[in-house]
Amino acid sequence: MDLIKITTEEKNLVINYMNDVMSFDNGIIEIIVGWDLAKERGANILNHKISKNTYWTFSPREKRKIFEEHMKSFVKEGIEEIISDIKINNLNPLKFKTEDNFLQNLKESVQGCDGYLFKNRLYIYCGRKIYHIDMGLLTFLSWDILSKIENIIKMREYKKIPKVLGDFDIKYIPYLNAKEDNITNDLC
């Protein structure tokens, strides 16, 4: 999962500080390492954020302590900025009289979107929206409709969650993991 693109002229110095969501090739958030390179891209010495998804920091040769702090903080800041625009909608089956009404609403709202089942929760990702269905509530209502829901959406499996994303709410992890389907289409 490449969420962070590192742009630098000193790859051999930076590679030891990279984690499993960083890459030199692609990413949604870009971190430019090195003052000279950042200055060419319009950076300000007092502001380490160049644009919405672009940050800069000093190289380890210039200011190691600041570089190390930024490599940790920029990941969290950048990802929080991405998920801040996401809308969460709870699809409450109690608002519908019958299973068929609920399924019809699902067809109209989320047909063809990606769904991830995590424990007793179903998260459905459509563009910049996440729809949530409490599967325990469906069981409580005696609605055995998971197979019918699977015909409406594309079910996906959770992939390994990188440690650096462990602090984020679980509902965002598949969204960040499915970046080629969701995020890059929305942000680029």
pLDDT in tens, 30-57: 899 999 998 898 888 888 888 888 899 9
- The model scores a pTM over 0.75: no
The type of residue at 38 is A
Q: Are residues 16 and 97 in the same domain?
A: no
Ordered DSSP codes for 159-182:
PPPPGGGTTS-GGGHHHHHTTTTT
Last residue of a domain, one of 84, 115, 139: 84
| Domain co-membership, 25 together with 74 | yes
| Cα dist from 126 to 22, 48, 76, 152, whole Å | 25, 32, 23, 13
Residue 185 has pLDDT above 60, yes or no: no
Last residue of a domain, one of 19, 50, 84: 84
Strand stretches in the chain, DSSP E: 4-8, 22-23, 29-33, 49-51, 54-57, 87-90, 114-118, 121-126, 129-134, 154-156
Retrieve residue 34's tokens.
């090195």
Cβ atoms within 10 Å, residue 77: 15
Kindly state whether residues 24 and 114 are assigned to the same domain: no
Q: Tell which of 53, 84, 115 closes a domain.
A: 84
Number of residues in the chain: 188
Give the number of domains in the chain.
Answer: 2
pLDDT, tens digit, 9 for 90 and up, residues 90-118: 899 999 989 999 999 999 989 888 888 87
Domain that holds residue 58: 4-84
Q: Give the contacts of 44 (CB within 8 A, at least 6 positions apart).
A: 50
Check whether residue 114 and residue 93 sit in a common domain. yes
> Would you say residue 169 has pLDDT above 80?
no
Which candidate, 123, 114, 106, places its Cα nearest to that of 155? 114
Q: Do 99 and 127 have their domain in common?
A: yes
pLDDT at 177 over 80: no
- Tell me the C-alpha distance between 107 and 178, whole Å: 21
